[in-house]
Amino acid sequence: MGSILIDFVFPGNLKSISPQALILTNMKKQISLVLSSGGARGVAHIGVIEELEKQGFEIKSIAGTSMGALVGGIYATGKLDVYKEWMCSLDKMDVFNLIDFTFSRNGIIKGDKILREMKKMIPDRNIEDLPVPFVAVATDISNDKELVFNRGSLYYAIRASISIPTVFTPLIKDGYYIVDGGVINPIPINRAERFDGDILVVVDVNSRIPNITNQIPEDNNQEEKKYSKYINSVINKLDYFIPQNDSDKIGYFNLLNKTTGLMLNQISLMTLEKYQPDILINISKDSFGTYDFYKSEKLIEEGRRATIEAIKKFKTVA
């Protein structure tokens, strides 16, 4: 697939100082941060950012895809605390009420209602005016191209980047269909703006590592299963629009989501192998569901835990 850059600022020179040396000195630990896609698990990016700053890291730039673009973009406005407070206040019914269902052939959720609520708290800004350099990634499926946003409306870039195929309806601009950046670049390391002596920190919330999050009580677990069952039933309603044989058990959209997940995992592995971040923060894809937005406090805590673990490993290497 090709790639189109929207006034993209290319990285600076290669690092002249090793990140390990920075850790062992009194110099500021400046980082370039890359945040992956991952649905509700992307809320964990909030905990990652908070812990990085708590431990003295200074975020100099952010690149994000899908939920990583949303959290990264809001951080770049300086209003992450406002967004966090709102997310942590949401219960299951609040999440349902924020979903503007539209059972069309292109997707089941418009996504406009969520962004309208966010704009009430955090006004839109042009990306080039943000205090922290920010890049969001989306996919132009009409032309098989990657779109990289580092100027223009922040919320437009976010909406483009979170357009998960079959879930959110795509953005349509000049006849072109724009969908989730995770389709082509789930961990946009190559789009991060780099600085001399920076530390490359990458967060992957879709990691295929064992899930070690604490188990919740059985009663609550049953409640979570009911919630997940309802969400999945809504998504699977689209299967009725797709001709199937009686022998088809998995469902068209479940099959699509599973195969897409495997594909994105392979892309992520190749990306991490090619660019090899200084600090890799992994969160298991099995830790939380794609639609568990009402679990924000637990998601944020998981991001914090994974960050502490990754930094310990980094210091050990140093």
Q: Label residue 9 by pLDDT band (50, 70, 90).
A: very low
Third-level CATH fold of 28-210+222-317: Cytosolic phospholipase A2 catalytic domain (3.40.1090)
Q: Is the pLDDT of residue 65 over 50?
A: yes
Of 106, 270, 112, nearest to 186 (Cα)? 270
Catalytic one among 180, 198, 204, 292? 180
Contacts of 182 (CB under 8 A, 6+ apart): 36, 37, 65, 66, 164, 264
pLDDT at 178: 92
Q: Is the pLDDT of residue 123 over 60?
A: yes
288-304 pLDDT, tens per residue? Answer: 988 899 999 999 999 99
* Segments of 221-305 assigned E as strands: 279-284
Burial of 130 (0-12, 13-18, 19+ CB in 10 A): middle
Q: Mark whether 246 is an active-site residue.
A: no
Catalytic one among 37, 61, 66, 207? 66
Q: Is the pLDDT of residue 110 over 90?
A: no
Q: Is the pLDDT of residue 236 over 80?
A: no
Q: Mark whether 180 is an active-site residue.
A: yes
Residue with more model confidence, 277 or 237: 277
Tell me what the mean pLDDT of segment 217-245 comes to. 55
And the tokens for 306? 């994974």
Task: Please tell me the pTM assigned to this model.
Answer: 0.83
Q: Label residue 220 by pLDDT band (50, 70, 90).
A: low
Every domain of the chain and the residues it spans: 28-210+222-317
